[in-house]
A = this chain, B = another copy of it.
Amino acid sequence: MTKQKIVTRKPLSSARVLRAAVALADEAGLEAFSMRGLAQELGVVPMALYKHVANKEELLDGMVDIVFSEIELPSGDLDWRSAMQRRALSTREALKRHSWAIGMMESRHPGPANLRNHNAVMGCLRKAGFSFKIAIHAYSVQDAYIYGFALQERDTGFKTPDSAGEAAQRRAKTIGALEHYPYLIEIATKLPESGYDNAVEFAWGLDLILDGLERLRDSV
């Protein structure tokens, strides 16, 4: 009856804080993510966090690097196109799991996973025979597309998985408001019945871009 507390709380650590932070942001969203909320989640007083993280900014930096760490690196065993495709899909998936990270992937102090990722992607392109200049271009288009798509997917996603009835009703109301926009009406009516799928959409655009790059691989 000496050491044994009633409930010995596992001690904090920056890694544990970071993991909890990612989990909380995942389920609460970035808007509702606060130091105070995180502390509560960890059963601790807000200021306790500051013994393990300098401040919220640095915490966010670390969280973003966790997202980077979940992205598959381009494999050296594959041709460059397949490797790029896999890492693009993997990036989209990571951003779907952690949609709070979408606008922040390149805006924060880069962590080790970030550096490893960028180095590997650029390496894959260079080894595939792309000139430096074209490799930069190729990297830029791909990432712009990936991040931009993630943005759109987040913004146009059906947040509430409401019933088909509700969806139809809302669609009708929307169409009413769209009276003078014939092409928006076309979208509102045809899109739902066209079997639209974000994953398919993403792959389509990615293929278009990779096709274009393939054609340019041997340019200067």
Binding site for B on A (CB under 8 A): 102-103, 106-107, 115-116, 118-120, 122-123, 126, 132-133, 136-137, 140-141, 143-149, 151-152, 154-156, 178, 181-184, 186-187, 190-191, 194, 196, 201, 204-205, 208-209, 211-213, 216
Contacts and interface: CB of A to CB of B under 8 A. Distances in A.
Contacts of A103: 102-103, 151
A184 B119 contact: yes
> How many monomers of this chain does the complex have?
2
A178 B122 contact: no
A146 B145 CA distance: 8
Contacts of A119: 181-184
A219 to B, nearest CB: 11
Contact of A145 (B123, B141, B154): B141
Contact of A115 (B149, B184, B190, B211): B184
Given A183-B122, A183-B123, A184-B122, A151 B152 contact: no
Nearest to A125: B183
Contacts of A208: 137, 141, 209, 212-213, 216
